[in-house]
Structure 1
Amino acid sequence: MKTSKLISAVCFWLSSFGVYAQTEYFISVEGKDSNAGSVEAPFASLEKALEEARKASGEVTLFLREGTYRLQKTIVLTTADGNQSKTLNIRSYPGEKVVISGGQELDLDWKPYKKGIMQAPITDPVLMDMLLVNGEIRHMARYPNYDEQAIRFNGTSAEATAPSRVKQWKHPETGYLHAMHRSDWGDFHYRITGKDNKNQLTLEGGWQNNRQSGLHPDNRMVENIFEELDAPGEWFFDAEKKRLYYYPMPGENMEQAVVETPQLKHLFEIRGTASEPAANIHLEGLQLTQTVRTFMEAYEPLLRSDWTIYRGAAIFMEGTEHCSLSDCDLYNLGGNAVFFSKYNRDAEVSGSHFTNIGASAICFVGDPQCVRSPSFEYSQFVPFDQLDRKKGPKGNNYPADCLVKDNLIHKIGLFEKQITGIELSMCQSITVSHNSIYDTPRAGINVSEGTWGGHIIEYNDIFDTVKETGDHGSFNSWGRDRFWHPDYKTMEEMTANHPELILLDAVKTTTIRHNRFRCDRGWDIDLDDGSSNYHIYNNLCLNGGIKLREGFYRIVENNIMVNNSFHPHVWFLQSGDVFTRNIVMTDYKPIQVRQWGLMTDYNIFTDSTALLTAQKNGTDTHSLVCEVVFANPSTGDFTLSDDAETVVKGGFHNFPMDEFGVQSPRLKSIAHQPEMPAPIVSRSNSEAPIEVWQGVEIKNLTTLGERSATGMDSERGVYVLSVNPLESIHTQLKTNDVILKVNNQPTNTTQEFKEALKEHKAGDKITLTVFRSQKEVSLSVVLR
C-alpha cells in the first residue's frame, strides 16, 4: 500500500512539472466560452476548447457533453493541435450522445400555398441545397417523382428532358439534370443554365465521370424545378423571392416539425504536409451529420479508371500520421463521408456506422504527381519510348499503411452513383478488414488502378451491390497501369517484348481473402482491364463468380463459387495466372482466351458436362467432378464435411463461415446479412434435358433450387443456364433468366418455346418476356 501511494505521488509530482502532461477540457451546449472549461464550468463551443488546447502540451482530451453542436464553419486541425509530441482526442463524454452538425435549424412561419403545399419566407442568408424534416432527407421538386422501388435515382424517364416538358418550365435555370452513363458506368450531373428556342436544355457540368460516352437516353432525372413540385416530401426554394415551398408528408405537422438545411461541405479537416504532418489526432464516439451535396464541385480524374472524384468529405485528412476516427456515426451527408488525401500514414477508421451518404463512405486517394508516366482517360497512353520505366511511385505523397476495420456501411450513393463503400486509388498497403457493406449503386470496394498494391481485403461481407449501374462487381478493380494500352494488340506486343513493365506500378501483391461476396447484377469479384498481381483465396462467392480480365499474375485458389463459375476474359499469352482448388458449379465463361495462364487445374466441379467442356478447352486435366454437400446453406454455412471427396481428393480446405463482416456487438446487432442461395442440383443429373438455342443453353425450369436461384413463383418457364459470350444475343439474355413469353405467347417449356419460334426466320425481330431480378422485362432480339 505504501509503495503504491509513493508511485502515485511521484506521478503527480512529475506531471506537475510537465514530464507527464495530460489535460482535459469540457464542452457543453449549456456552457459558456468565458468559463474555465472544467467539468463544473464547461466551454460552450468546440472552437474555444481548441483555442485553449493549443496552449497545452502532451495529451489533451476534449470531452463533449450530450447535445447537438452546430458548426458555423469547418473545424480545421493542424500541427498546432496534434504532432509527434502532442496528442489531441476529441470525443463524447462516456455514455452521452454528441451530434456535430453542419446544418442550420430554420425558424419558419408556415402558411398554406395551394394543392396541399405549404410556404414560408426565409430571410436569413442560408444555403438551400438539402432539406431535412424531422431528421429525414426530403427531395427537391423533381421529375419523375421519387419512387423508392425504382432502380436508378429513385425514378428516371426519357421524358425528363423532353421539349414538351421543358416548355412548361418558366425558370429551368434553377434545376439540375442527373443522368446515368450510356452504358450504366456511373453517372453525370449538370446544372441547367436555361433552354433554347426549341425547348432544349442548355447545361453546365458532366465532369463527374471519366468515360465520356454520353448520357443514357432513358435514365434521366431533373430536380429543383418549381413546376414539378407535385408530390409529398418534395420542396423548392425560390431564391429570388426568398420563399420555401414544401409539400408535407401524410400526417406531418409543420408547426411542430424540425426543419434543417446543411451549410458546410466539410465538418472537420486535419491538415499537415508530408514533411510536417499533423499527427495523433483522434475523433471518437461522435455523431457527424449534415453536409451539403458536392456533385457540382471541381472533380479530378483518378488516372484511367472510370472515376473522377471530388477531393473532399465531411471528415477530410491530408498530410497526417497516426490519426483516427473510431466508434462514430456518420449519416445524412451530401457528399463523401471520410477522405484521406495525399500523404497519410497509419490512419485508422474503425467501429463506425455510415448510412445515408450522398457519395462514397471512405476514400484513400494519393497525389497524381507521384505516378510515373500517368494517363488520365481510358483512350490516353504514353508511348513506350517516352515511358518512365522506374518502378514504384515518385515521392511519398500518398496514403499508405492504413486500416479500415469493423465498419458498417450501407445506403450510400444517394446522389452520386460512381461511388463505393471504400475507394483505393494511388495508395499502398491499405488493410480493409471485417467491414459490412451493402445497399450501394456500384461496388462495395473499388480499387481504381494498380498503384501501388499491397492492400489486404479480408473478412468483409459485401452484398446488395451494383444496384443502379452495370458491368461491375461487389469487389471491382481496374489495372490500367503503365503497361496498359487501349489497343489490345499494341499492349500484347509491348508486354511480350518488355515484361518488366507489368509490375512497375502494382509493385506489391494485393490479397483478397476470407470475404463473403454476393452481386446480383454483376460479378462477385471483378478484376477488370489489366488488374495485376493479386492473390485471391478462401472467399465465398454467393452468386456472381469471379472475373479476371486481361492482367497478369493472379492466383485464384480455394474459393467457392455458388451456382456460378470462373469468368476469364481476354487473357494474355504468358499471363502467369493460376486457377486451382476452387469449387465451381457451372461451366467456365471464357471470352477470347487463347492460353489459360500458368495453370487452370485441380479444381472441383459439381457438373460433369462443365468439366468435359473445360477439358476440351485444354484445362483441368486433374480436376474432379463430385457431389458437393454444404453443411447448412440456408444459414450461410457452406462448410464441407471433413471426409467429403472435395476435401479428401480435391485438396480443397474449409475456411471459417462465421467471421465475415463487422464484429463489434454494437454494429453486429444492426447489420444485415445477404440472402443465401439454394445450391442448384447438378445439371448433368437434372431430369430435364439441356438444349442449345443460338448459343444459349436452356432447359425447363423444374427444381426448387432453380426457383430459388431465379426468384420464380413456380416451376415454369425456360431456364437460361448459360450464354455464349461470343454470340450477338449475349447482350440481351443473361444466365439465370427465365423466358416466359415469345411475342406475348407463353413458353412454359422448351417445347412451347420452340413451337413459338417456328413461324419466325433468321433476321426477324422478336420480343422475349424474361423474368430477371424479381420482375418481368422485355427484350428485343434479332434471330440468327
Structure 2
Amino acid sequence: MRQLFLFFVHALLLVVFFSPLQAQDFVVDVHPAKTVQVIRQYRSQYPDCNLTIRYKPGTYYLDSTLVISASLTNGKGYTIIQGAPNQTTTISGGKALTVKWQVYKNGIYRAPVNISWDFDQLYVDGNAAVRARYPNYDTTASHYNGYAEDALSKARIASWKHPVGGYIHALHRAEWGGYHYMITGVNADTSLQLTGGYQNNRQMGMHKTIRFVENIFEELDTAREWYYDKATRFLYYKPAGAKAPAADIVVSRLSGYFIFTGDASAPVQRVTVKDIRFTQAKATFMETREPLLRSDWAIYRGGVILLDGTRDCTVQHCVFEQNGGNAIFLSNFNRHAMVLGNRIQQLGGNAVAFAGNPDAVRSPLFEYNSRQDFAAMDTARGPKTDNYPDSCAVVDNLIHDIGLIEKQVAGVQISMSAHIQVSHNSIYNLPRAGINISEGTWGGHVIEYNDVFNTVLETGDHGSFNSWGRDRWWYPNRREMDSIAALYPWLVKQDAVYTNVIRYNRFRCDHGWDIDLDDGSSNYEIYNNVCLHGGLKLREGFDRKVYNNIIVNNSFHPHVWFKNSGDVFTNNVVMTRYKPIGINYWGREIDRNFFPDSAALATAQANGTDVHSAYGDPQFANPAAGNYTVRNIAAKDFTNFNQFAFGVISPSLRALAAKPLFPAPGSSTEATTASWQWQNGTFKNLETLGERSATGMADYEGVLVLKAPDPSAGLRDGDVILLIGTHKVRNIHELQQVLKTAVYPLKLTIFRNQQQMTL
C-alpha cells in the first residue's frame, strides 16, 4: 500500500510539472511584486502556455499580498512560481527600516519611526525580539515562555499609564487551547476593558494562573524587549549589552503572501509554489474567531499561503519560519492539492490546516452544548455541497516548534473535509495535537507513516493524534445521546461516511494519549502503530477497529462506551492492564491481545474480554534504537511490521528531523487512592487524566462517583461531587468531614454532562 501511494504521489507530480508541451513554454525571471502582472500578461497572449515565474536569490519585502485568481489560470497549462534552485530566495512579510537610535534610559534606546500599520514582530539582525511583556521571556518556562498569576493583579494594572493596545494571552481554564484579548480601556476599579476571547469554542474563561501580558510600555525592562508608542511614533528597544542596536531592522507588515482564490465552478488550477523561504509574517491571533463544528476550535481562514477554491495546486520544497500565524491554509473547495517536502518551524499558528465551508454540512451545530431535535434534522447522508477540501495530500513535511502564540493548533488540522492523505511527516514540539481531526465530516482520511512526538506540551486532555466526532447524532447529554443512538443507529455514519485509517505511525505523548479518539469519534480503522508513552484511548463512538498495535509501557483506555458500539480491539501488544472508565459494555470483540503478565490478563478476563489472549515479555528487538519488533513467539496473534519507516523521507529533511525518546520497557501505572464505600455507593478522588477526560472536568478538585447510591437520591455513575451545601468537596477526606455534620436532605452541586447542576 505504501508503494502504491508513493507511486500516486510521483504520478501526480509528473502531471503537474511535466505536462506535454502546449503551444509554448515560457520561463520568466521577475521580482515577486510583478508576479500577478506577468501571469496576466502571458495568459492573455498565450492562454494554453506552461509558465514558470522564477525569482532570483535574495530577500524580497512585499508591499501587498499576491492574489492569484481563477481568471489567471485555465487548467490547460501549468504555472510554477519558484525561487532560485539550490540557492535561497526569501520573501518577507515585513518591512525593512533604517533607524537612528537615541539613548533613552535604563539601557533602553529609542528611535523616531513613522509606521502607519499595526505590527507585532520586530527583527534585529534577523532575530525576533520580544515585545515588552510580564513576566519576562524565559526559554525554560513550561507555558508561553513565562506566565504569572499576578499578570492581571490590580497593583500591576495600576502601574500601567497607557495600557490600551496591550494584549493578554492565557490558557483556557481547562487547558483546552488558549485565549487572546486586547486591552481597550481601564475601569475606575482598575479592572480592564477587553475585546477578544473568541479564539476558543468552549467558553469557560481564562486559566487562573497561566497567563501573561504584552505590549505594555512599563514592562520593557530586560534585554531584547521592544515597544512601539503609536502616539509619539517612537520605537523603544533594550539591547543585550551597552552597545547601540543595529540600525537596520525589520517590522512585520503582512500576514499572508499568496492567496489563491476561486471556487468550485471556477477554481485556480495547476499552480505550484516551490523552493521559496517565507518569513516574518505578522500574527493573526486576533483574527482567529470563526468557530468550527462543536469542536474546541476557532480558526482564521488565512495563512502565509491560502488556497481557497483550487484544483491541482501544490506547495513544494518551501521553508516557512518565524511567521506569526498559519503557514498553509486550505479553505473551502480544494481538489488534489499537494503540500509536499516543506519545512515549517517557529510558527505562531497551524502548520497545515484544512477547513471546508459549513454550507456543505447538513444541520451544522457550532457550540459544544448546542443540540437539535431529530425531527428538525436534515438526515441525508454526506455533504450538502462540494465546498470543502477533498482528495488532497500532506506528504514528507518537517513540522516542529509551532503554536508559539496560539495554543489551539496542530501540525495538520482537518475539518469538514474528505479523503485527506497525511503521510511521512515528522511533527514535534507543539502545544496541542500533532494531527487533529475536528469532526466526522466526512472521513476517508489516511494517516500513515508519520512520526509525531513532544505534543500537548502546553495544554491538556489531548493526544499526539486527536479526533472528535460531535456530528449530527451526538448530544452533550449522555442519556439523550444513548436514546438517539439506539433509535437511529444508521445516523452515526451520515456524516462520518468514509472510514478514517490510522496506520504505520509512531506516536509519543507524555502529557496525554498517543492516540486519542474523543467525544463520538466513529468509523476508524487503527492498525500497525507504535505508541511510545500515552496509550490509546477510545471514548464513546461506533465502529472503531483497533488491531495489531504496540502500546509501550501503557495500555488501552476505553471510556464510556455505548451499547452495541461495534468496537473491536484485537491482536494488540499492551504493557499494563486495561484502564476502562465508565464501561458497561465491551463492544463487539476484545480478544487475542498480548498482556505483560497474568494479573493484567486476569483483570481483563474478569470483565468478560480476552478469552483467547496471552501474556509475557514481548522481548522487543532493540528498544534503545526504536526497534520494537516483538520476538516472543507466545505473542502469536501479533504480526510484526517495519519499525524504521516513520517520518520524513527526503534525505535533506531526514538529516534535520529529530527523533522521539525511545522508552525502555518497564511497568507504568497511575498511582490512585483507594475507593470509599458509603450508602451502598462507591466514591474516589478525581486524580487521573483519564478520569478528568471522561468526566470533562477542568481540574482534579472533586469526588468521582464510581457507583451511585440509591438512584432515587439523584446521583449517577460518573458524576463528580463538587459541593455539599456551601462546603467545597475537593477529595474523599473533605467529603467524609462534611458528611459528619451535614444536615439532611443534602444539597449537592455536581458536574455531569460537562456542566454544573444542583441535586
Asked if Structure 1 and Structure 2 have the same fold, meaning a TM-score greater than 0.5 normalized by the shorter chain, the answer is: yes
Offset at residue 198 of structure 1 (A):
1.3
Superposition pairs for residues 416-431 of structure 1, below 5 Å? 416-431=406-421
Letter in 2 for 1:431: Q
Q: Which amino acid in 2 is paired with 1:598?
A: R
Determine the C-alpha separation between the residues in 2 that align with 1:733 and 1:388: 34
**Alignment match, 1:694:** 674
1:127–1:261 CA contact under 8 A, matched in 2: no
2:92 paired with 1:135 = no
Alignment of structure 1 residues 221-240 onto 2, 5 Å: 221-240=212-231
Give the counterpart letter for 1:46 in structure 2.
T
Please state how far the C-alpha of 1:728 moved relative to its aligned partner.
1.8
Q: Structure 2: any 5+ residue segments left out of the alignment?
A: 1-20, 677-681, 693-730, 738-759
CA distance, structure 1, for counterparts of residue 170 and residue 156 of structure 2:
17
- Could you say if the C-alpha distance between residues 637 and 726 of structure 1 is closer, same or farther in structure 2, counting changes exceeding 3 Å? farther
Contact 2:412 2:436 in 1 (8 A): yes
1:304-361 per-residue CA deviation (whole Å, 9 max, x = no partner) reads 0010111111100111000000000011111111000000000000100000111101
Contact 2:554 2:668 in 1 (8 A): no
CA distance in 2, matches of 1:79, 1:228: 48
1-structure distance, mates of 2:139, 2:43: 48
Equivalent position to 1:181, from 148, 172, 182: 172
Are the aligned partners of 1:53 and 1:81 in contact in 2 as well (CA < 8 Å)?
no
1:659 aligned to which of 615, 623, 645: 645
| Residue in structure 2 matched with residue 743 of structure 1 by the alignment | none
CA offset digits 1:135-157 (Å, max 9, x no partner): 22222110111111111111111
Residue 81 of structure 1 is matched in structure 2 by: 72
Hey, what does 2:13 align to over in structure 1?
none
Q: 1:678-737 CA distances to partner (integer Å, 9 max, x unpaired)?
A: 100699xxxxxx9974259xxxxxxxxxxxxxxxxxxxxxxxxxxxx97324258999xx
Distance across 1 between alignment mates of 2:691 and 2:475: 29
Tell me the residue number matched to 2:634. 645
Aligned to 1:756: none
Match of 1:551 in 2: 541
Residues 380-419 of structure 1, C-alpha deviations (whole Å, 9 max, x = no match): 0111111111000001000000010000000101110011
Query: What residue is the counterpart of 1:676 in the other structure?
Result: 662
The code of the aligned residue for 1:626 comes to: G
Equivalent-residue separation in structure 1 for 2:267 and 2:391 (angstroms): 15
Secondary structure class of the residue paired with 1:369: helix
Instruction: Measure how far apart 1:134 and its partner are.
Output: 1.9
State whether residues 299 and 311 of structure 1, in contact with CA within 8 Å, keep that contact through their aligned partners in structure 2.
no
Single out whichever of 455-464 and 240-249 deviates more from structure 2: 240-249
Matched ranges for 1:614-763 at <5 A: 614-641=604-631, 644-646=633-635, 649=636, 651-680=637-666, 693-694=673-674, 727-731=684-688, 762-763=733-734
- Are the aligned partners of 1:446 and 1:475 in contact in 2 as well (CA < 8 Å)? yes
Partner Cα separation in structure 2 for residue 176 and residue 442 of structure 1: 22
Residue 22 (structure 1) aligns with: 25
C-alpha distance in 2 between matches for 1:45 and 1:97: 19
- Residue 450 of structure 1 corresponds to 440
Paired AA for residue 652 in structure 1:
F
Q: Does the aligned pair in 2 maintain the 1:28–1:66 contact within 8 Å?
A: no
Match of 1:163 in 2: 154
Coordinate RMSD, CA, aligned: 2.2
Question: Quick check: 2:581–2:690 contact (8 Å CA) kept in 1?
Answer: no
1:91 aligns with 2:94: no
**Whole-angstrom distance in 1 between the partners of 2:672 and 2:410:** 38
Instruction: Report the counterpart of residue 348 of structure 2 in structure 1.
Output: 358
- Does residue 439 (structure 1) correspond to residue 425 (structure 2)? The answer is no
Displacement of 1:298: 5.5
Structure 1: how far apart are the matches of 2:672 and 2:289?
48
For structure 1, the 5+ residue unaligned runs are: 1-17, 30-43, 684-689, 697-724, 736-759, 767-784
In the TM superposition, 1:30-179 aligns within 5 A as 45-55=34-44, 56-57=46-47, 58-179=49-170
Q: Which has the higher contact order (CA 8 A, sep 6+)?
A: 2
Q: Where does residue 344 of structure 1 map in the other structure?
A: 334
Question: 1:108 deviation in Å?
Answer: 0.6
1:273 aligns with 2:274: no
Q: In structure 2, what is the equivalent of residue 313 of structure 1?
A: 303
1:591·1:726 contact (CA, 8 Å) conserved in 2?
A: no
1:251 is displaced (CA, Å) by 7.8
- Asked if the contact 2:271–2:312 (Cα under 8 Å) also holds between the matched residues in 1, the reply is yes
Displacement over 4 Å in runs of 4+: 250-253, 690-693, 731-735
**CA distance change for structure 1 residues 526 and 436 in 2, over 3 Å: closer, same or farther?**
same
Opposite residue 306 of structure 2, the aligned amino acid is F
What amino acid maps onto 1:680 in structure 2? G
Q: What residue is the counterpart of 1:527 in the other structure?
A: 517
CA–CA distance in 1 between the matches of 2:255 and 2:58?
22
In the superposition, the TM-score normalised over structure 2's length comes to: 0.86
Q: Using a 3 Å threshold, how does the CA distance of structure 1 residues 86 and 110 change in structure 2: closer, same or farther?
A: same
Per-residue Cα deviation, 1:32-67 (whole angstroms, up to 9, x for no partner): xxxxxxxxxxxx843543343333332000111111
Q: Which residue of 1 aligns with 2:566?
A: 576
- Decide which structure has the larger Cα Rg and report it: 1
Q: Aligned match of 2:252 in 259, 262, 266?
A: 262
Question: Contact 2:673 / 2:684 at 8 angstroms: preserved in 1?
Answer: no
Counterpart of 1:332, as a letter, is Q
Task: Call closer, same or farther: CA 1:26–1:691 in 2, change over 3 Å.
Answer: closer
Contact 1:179 1:189 survives alignment (8 Å): yes
Aligned mates of 2:337, 2:213 — CA distance in 1: 39
Quote the sequence identity (%).
48
1:6 is matched with none
1:242 paired residue among 201, 218, 233: 233
Report the residue type matching 1:467 in the other structure: L
Q: Contact (CA 8 Å) 2:541, 2:561: kept in 1 or not?
A: yes
The 3 A distance-change label for structure 1 pair 668 and 552 is same
How far apart are 1:106 and its partner, in Å?
Answer: 1.2
Q: CA deviation at 1:100?
A: 1.2
Normalization by structure 1: what TM-score?
Answer: 0.83
Contact 2:101 2:244 in 1 (8 A): no
Q: In structure 2, what residue type is equivalent to 1:412?
A: I
Aligned with residue 465 of structure 1, among 452, 455, 480: 455
